[in-house]
Amino acid sequence: ADKIKQAYQFHAEPTRPIAGIQHNFDNNAALIRAKALLRYGEALNARREILRLADRMQSDLLRQRQLTYWLHKNGFHFEAIYILGKARDWNDIDVRFPTPYNRQVAAASQRTGTDATWIYAIMRQESSMNRFAKSNAKAKGLMQLIPSTARRMANDTGLSLSGGGIYYADINTILGAEYLAQMFARYGNIALASAAYNAGPGRVDRWQLRDMDDMPIWVEKIPFNETRRYVKRILEYQHVYAKHLGKKIPTVTERLNGRYQAVDAARRVPVISTESAW
Protein backbone atom coordinates (compact mmCIF):
# COMPACT_ATOMS: atom_id res chain seq x y z
CA ALA A 1 0.00 0.00 0.00
CA ASP A 2 2.85 2.39 0.83
CA LYS A 3 4.58 1.75 -2.49
CA ILE A 4 1.46 2.57 -4.51
CA LYS A 5 0.45 5.36 -2.13
CA GLN A 6 -2.86 3.77 -1.17
CA ALA A 7 -4.58 4.01 2.20
CA TYR A 8 -4.63 0.88 4.33
CA GLN A 9 -7.82 -1.11 4.03
CA PHE A 10 -9.44 -2.94 6.95
CA HIS A 11 -11.63 -5.89 5.96
CA ALA A 12 -13.74 -5.53 9.06
CA GLU A 13 -16.63 -7.90 9.58
CA PRO A 14 -17.93 -7.13 13.08
CA THR A 15 -20.20 -9.66 14.72
CA ARG A 16 -23.82 -8.57 14.93
CA PRO A 17 -25.22 -9.92 18.20
CA ILE A 18 -28.25 -12.17 17.97
CA ALA A 19 -30.34 -11.40 21.04
CA GLY A 20 -31.62 -14.93 21.61
CA ILE A 21 -28.17 -16.52 21.41
CA GLN A 22 -26.65 -13.84 23.64
CA HIS A 23 -29.43 -14.41 26.19
CA ASN A 24 -28.71 -18.15 26.15
CA PHE A 25 -25.05 -17.46 26.82
CA ASP A 26 -26.00 -15.22 29.75
CA ASN A 27 -27.68 -18.25 31.28
CA ASN A 28 -25.21 -20.91 30.18
CA ALA A 29 -23.94 -22.93 33.16
CA ALA A 30 -20.36 -23.13 31.90
CA LEU A 31 -20.16 -19.38 31.33
CA ILE A 32 -21.75 -18.64 34.71
CA ARG A 33 -19.09 -20.88 36.30
CA ALA A 34 -16.36 -19.12 34.29
CA LYS A 35 -17.44 -15.69 35.57
CA ALA A 36 -17.54 -16.96 39.15
CA LEU A 37 -14.13 -18.60 38.84
CA LEU A 38 -12.61 -15.41 37.46
CA ARG A 39 -14.04 -13.40 40.36
CA TYR A 40 -12.20 -15.75 42.74
CA GLY A 41 -8.90 -15.47 40.87
CA GLU A 42 -9.21 -18.84 39.10
CA ALA A 43 -8.50 -17.52 35.60
CA LEU A 44 -7.08 -20.80 34.28
CA ASN A 45 -10.07 -22.83 35.40
CA ALA A 46 -12.40 -20.19 33.96
CA ARG A 47 -10.58 -20.52 30.64
CA ARG A 48 -10.99 -24.30 30.68
CA GLU A 49 -14.74 -23.92 31.07
CA ILE A 50 -14.90 -21.52 28.13
CA LEU A 51 -12.67 -23.50 25.78
CA ARG A 52 -14.53 -26.73 26.45
CA LEU A 53 -17.73 -24.94 25.47
CA ALA A 54 -16.09 -23.48 22.35
CA ASP A 55 -14.82 -26.91 21.29
CA ARG A 56 -18.38 -28.17 21.21
CA MET A 57 -19.24 -25.41 18.74
CA GLN A 58 -16.51 -26.07 16.18
CA SER A 59 -19.03 -27.16 13.56
CA ASP A 60 -21.31 -24.18 14.23
CA LEU A 61 -19.31 -21.11 13.21
CA LEU A 62 -22.24 -18.72 13.73
CA ARG A 63 -22.64 -19.74 17.37
CA GLN A 64 -18.89 -19.70 17.87
CA ARG A 65 -18.73 -16.14 16.54
CA GLN A 66 -21.60 -15.20 18.83
CA LEU A 67 -19.68 -16.76 21.73
CA THR A 68 -16.61 -14.61 21.02
CA TYR A 69 -18.86 -11.53 20.97
CA TRP A 70 -20.26 -12.51 24.39
CA LEU A 71 -16.77 -13.16 25.75
CA HIS A 72 -15.56 -9.80 24.44
CA LYS A 73 -18.45 -7.97 26.10
CA ASN A 74 -17.82 -9.80 29.38
CA GLY A 75 -14.09 -9.14 29.55
CA PHE A 76 -12.80 -12.55 28.45
CA HIS A 77 -10.59 -11.03 25.77
CA PHE A 78 -7.83 -13.65 25.71
CA GLU A 79 -10.34 -16.44 25.21
CA ALA A 80 -12.22 -14.57 22.45
CA ILE A 81 -8.97 -13.85 20.60
CA TYR A 82 -7.82 -17.44 20.99
CA ILE A 83 -11.09 -18.92 19.67
CA LEU A 84 -11.16 -16.65 16.61
CA GLY A 85 -7.51 -17.41 15.89
CA LYS A 86 -8.03 -21.14 16.17
CA ALA A 87 -10.94 -20.84 13.72
CA ARG A 88 -8.78 -18.66 11.42
CA ASP A 89 -11.53 -16.04 11.57
CA TRP A 90 -9.55 -12.83 11.15
CA ASN A 91 -11.99 -10.06 10.29
CA ASP A 92 -13.79 -9.17 13.52
CA ILE A 93 -11.20 -6.58 14.46
CA ASP A 94 -13.27 -5.27 17.37
CA VAL A 95 -13.03 -8.63 19.13
CA ARG A 96 -9.53 -9.54 17.92
CA PHE A 97 -8.10 -6.14 18.89
CA PRO A 98 -9.98 -5.03 22.00
CA THR A 99 -9.25 -1.92 24.03
CA PRO A 100 -9.70 -2.87 27.68
CA TYR A 101 -7.67 -1.17 30.41
CA ASN A 102 -8.15 2.14 28.62
CA ARG A 103 -7.75 4.09 31.85
CA GLN A 104 -4.47 2.34 32.61
CA VAL A 105 -3.16 2.74 29.06
CA ALA A 106 -4.04 6.44 29.05
CA ALA A 107 -2.29 6.93 32.39
CA ALA A 108 0.81 5.04 31.23
CA SER A 109 0.90 7.04 28.00
CA GLN A 110 0.55 10.33 29.88
CA ARG A 111 3.25 9.45 32.40
CA THR A 112 5.84 8.00 30.01
CA GLY A 113 5.02 9.88 26.80
CA THR A 114 4.62 6.56 24.97
CA ASP A 115 2.04 6.49 22.18
CA ALA A 116 -1.06 4.60 23.34
CA THR A 117 -1.27 2.80 19.98
CA TRP A 118 2.18 1.32 20.64
CA ILE A 119 1.29 0.32 24.20
CA TYR A 120 -1.86 -1.43 22.99
CA ALA A 121 -0.02 -3.14 20.11
CA ILE A 122 2.60 -4.52 22.51
CA MET A 123 -0.04 -5.58 25.04
CA ARG A 124 -2.06 -7.36 22.34
CA GLN A 125 0.97 -9.21 21.02
CA GLU A 126 2.44 -10.04 24.42
CA SER A 127 -0.55 -11.26 26.41
CA SER A 128 -3.72 -10.91 24.30
CA MET A 129 -5.01 -8.72 27.17
CA ASN A 130 -4.56 -11.42 29.82
CA ARG A 131 -3.28 -9.69 32.94
CA PHE A 132 -2.54 -13.04 34.59
CA ALA A 133 -0.31 -14.19 31.70
CA LYS A 134 2.97 -15.90 32.58
CA SER A 135 5.35 -17.20 29.93
CA ASN A 136 7.87 -20.04 30.03
CA ALA A 137 10.54 -17.33 30.34
CA LYS A 138 8.72 -16.09 33.48
CA ALA A 139 7.53 -12.89 31.84
CA LYS A 140 4.41 -11.69 33.62
CA GLY A 141 1.32 -9.59 33.20
CA LEU A 142 -0.24 -7.59 30.39
CA MET A 143 3.07 -6.31 29.03
CA GLN A 144 4.94 -9.57 29.78
CA LEU A 145 7.81 -8.14 31.81
CA ILE A 146 10.51 -10.45 33.07
CA PRO A 147 11.10 -9.89 36.80
CA SER A 148 14.54 -8.26 36.41
CA THR A 149 13.20 -5.72 33.91
CA ALA A 150 10.14 -5.10 36.06
CA ARG A 151 12.35 -4.39 39.07
CA ARG A 152 14.48 -1.92 37.12
CA MET A 153 11.43 -0.12 35.76
CA ALA A 154 9.81 -0.10 39.22
CA ASN A 155 13.00 1.44 40.59
CA ASP A 156 12.97 4.06 37.83
CA THR A 157 9.32 4.97 38.33
CA GLY A 158 9.10 4.65 42.12
CA LEU A 159 6.41 1.96 41.92
CA SER A 160 6.17 -1.08 44.17
CA LEU A 161 5.97 -4.70 43.00
CA SER A 162 5.05 -6.03 46.42
CA GLY A 163 1.98 -8.23 46.83
CA GLY A 164 2.03 -9.42 43.21
CA GLY A 165 2.15 -5.88 41.84
CA ILE A 166 3.58 -7.05 38.54
CA TYR A 167 0.15 -8.49 37.72
CA TYR A 168 -1.77 -5.30 38.54
CA ALA A 169 -2.88 -3.61 35.33
CA ASP A 170 -2.07 -0.11 36.63
CA ILE A 171 1.50 -1.04 37.52
CA ASN A 172 2.35 -3.45 34.72
CA THR A 173 1.17 -1.02 32.05
CA ILE A 174 3.27 1.86 33.39
CA LEU A 175 6.35 -0.34 33.75
CA GLY A 176 5.97 -1.73 30.23
CA ALA A 177 5.38 1.73 28.75
CA GLU A 178 8.43 3.05 30.62
CA TYR A 179 10.58 0.28 29.18
CA LEU A 180 9.27 1.07 25.68
CA ALA A 181 10.11 4.74 26.23
CA GLN A 182 13.62 3.87 27.36
CA MET A 183 14.15 1.61 24.35
CA PHE A 184 12.91 4.35 22.03
CA ALA A 185 15.26 6.86 23.67
CA ARG A 186 18.08 4.42 23.06
CA TYR A 187 17.33 3.66 19.39
CA GLY A 188 15.08 6.45 18.08
CA ASN A 189 13.22 3.96 15.89
CA ILE A 190 10.10 1.96 16.71
CA ALA A 191 11.25 -1.17 14.86
CA LEU A 192 14.53 -1.28 16.77
CA ALA A 193 12.84 -0.45 20.06
CA SER A 194 10.16 -3.13 19.55
CA ALA A 195 12.82 -5.68 18.63
CA ALA A 196 14.68 -4.77 21.83
CA TYR A 197 11.49 -5.20 23.88
CA ASN A 198 11.19 -8.73 22.52
CA ALA A 199 14.78 -9.96 22.17
CA GLY A 200 16.71 -7.60 24.46
CA PRO A 201 18.77 -4.50 23.64
CA GLY A 202 22.06 -6.41 23.67
CA ARG A 203 21.01 -8.40 20.62
CA VAL A 204 19.64 -5.33 18.83
CA ASP A 205 22.95 -3.55 19.43
CA ARG A 206 24.68 -6.38 17.56
CA TRP A 207 22.04 -6.44 14.79
CA GLN A 208 22.55 -2.70 14.24
CA LEU A 209 25.85 -3.43 12.55
CA ARG A 210 24.19 -4.18 9.19
CA ASP A 211 21.52 -2.90 6.76
CA MET A 212 20.71 0.22 8.79
CA ASP A 213 20.35 2.23 5.58
CA ASP A 214 17.37 0.08 4.55
CA MET A 215 15.09 -0.62 7.51
CA PRO A 216 12.60 -2.90 5.68
CA ILE A 217 15.57 -5.10 4.76
CA TRP A 218 16.86 -4.87 8.34
CA VAL A 219 13.54 -6.19 9.63
CA GLU A 220 13.51 -9.02 7.07
CA LYS A 221 17.01 -10.04 8.18
CA ILE A 222 16.35 -10.15 11.93
CA PRO A 223 18.01 -13.48 12.82
CA PHE A 224 15.25 -14.65 15.18
CA ASN A 225 12.03 -15.74 13.47
CA GLU A 226 10.02 -14.85 16.57
CA THR A 227 11.43 -11.31 16.76
CA ARG A 228 11.03 -10.74 13.02
CA ARG A 229 7.34 -11.71 13.20
CA TYR A 230 6.97 -9.71 16.41
CA VAL A 231 8.21 -6.44 14.88
CA LYS A 232 5.99 -6.84 11.82
CA ARG A 233 2.94 -7.52 13.97
CA ILE A 234 3.58 -4.52 16.20
CA LEU A 235 3.75 -2.24 13.16
CA GLU A 236 0.51 -3.76 11.82
CA TYR A 237 -1.32 -3.80 15.13
CA GLN A 238 -0.53 -0.14 15.71
CA HIS A 239 -2.66 0.79 12.72
CA VAL A 240 -5.60 -1.24 14.00
CA TYR A 241 -5.37 0.50 17.35
CA ALA A 242 -4.96 3.89 15.71
CA LYS A 243 -8.28 3.18 13.94
CA HIS A 244 -9.91 2.12 17.21
CA LEU A 245 -8.62 5.16 19.10
CA GLY A 246 -9.37 7.65 16.33
CA LYS A 247 -5.71 8.56 15.92
CA LYS A 248 -3.60 9.14 12.84
CA ILE A 249 -0.11 7.70 12.78
CA PRO A 250 2.50 7.62 10.00
CA THR A 251 2.67 4.78 7.50
CA VAL A 252 4.71 1.65 8.18
CA THR A 253 7.41 2.92 5.80
CA GLU A 254 7.59 6.28 7.56
CA ARG A 255 7.81 4.62 10.98
CA LEU A 256 10.51 2.22 9.79
CA ASN A 257 12.51 5.14 8.43
CA GLY A 258 12.38 7.03 11.74
CA ARG A 259 9.83 9.68 10.74
CA TYR A 260 7.74 9.00 13.82
CA GLN A 261 8.13 9.98 17.45
CA ALA A 262 6.67 7.05 19.35
CA VAL A 263 7.46 8.84 22.60
CA ASP A 264 6.64 12.45 23.43
CA ALA A 265 9.68 13.40 25.49
CA ALA A 266 8.01 16.62 26.67
CA ARG A 267 5.33 14.60 28.50
CA ARG A 268 7.69 12.12 30.14
CA VAL A 269 7.91 12.11 33.92
CA PRO A 270 11.65 12.02 34.74
CA VAL A 271 12.84 8.67 36.06
CA ILE A 272 13.76 8.48 39.73
CA SER A 273 16.64 6.04 39.52
CA THR A 274 20.10 6.87 38.22
CA GLU A 275 20.80 3.18 37.51
CA SER A 276 21.20 2.00 33.93
CA ALA A 277 17.95 0.67 32.47
CA TRP A 278 19.88 -2.01 30.62
Q: Which domain holds residue 248?
A: 102-267
- Between residues 17 and 212, which one has the greater pLDDT? 17
Residues facing residue 140 across a β-bridge: 134, 145
> Among residues 41, 66, 96, which one ends one of the domains?
96
Instruction: Please state which of the ranges 81-95, 175-189, 207-221 shows the lowest mean pLDDT.
Output: 207-221
Residue 123 in any domain: the answer is yes
How much is the pTM? 0.94
Read off the pLDDT of residues 79-136 as tens digits, 9 standing for 90 and up.
Answer: 999 999 999 999 999 999 999 999 999 999 999 999 999 999 999 999 999 999 999 9
Is 226 catalytic? The answer is: no
Q: How far apart are CA 27 and CA 84, in angstroms?
A: 22
Mean pLDDT value of segment 73-78: 98
- pLDDT tens profile 139-152: 999 999 999 999 99
Over 80: is that where the pLDDT of 186 sits? yes
Domain ends where: 78, 96, 114?
Answer: 96
CA separation (Å) from 2 to 33, 220, 256? 48, 17, 12
> pLDDT-based confidence at 4, cuts 50/70/90?
low
C-alpha closest to that of 124 among 24, 235, 8, 42: 235
- Same domain (yes/no): 141, 209: yes
* Pair 56, 48: CB distance under 8 Å: no
Whether residues 60 and 138 share a domain: the answer is: no
Q: Do residue 92 and residue 107 come from a single domain?
A: no
- Verify that 106 and 92 share a domain, yes or no: no
Same domain, yes or no: 77 and 194? no
Q: Where are the beta strands (DSSP E) in 80-203?
A: none
Q: How many domains does the chain have?
A: 2
Residue 273 has a pLDDT of 55
CA distance 272 to 181: 14
CATH number for the domain spanning 190: value is 1.10.530.10
- Select which of 79, 126, 226, 254 is catalytic: 126
Q: Are residues 47 and 26 in the same domain?
A: yes
What's the average model confidence in pLDDT over 242-246? 95
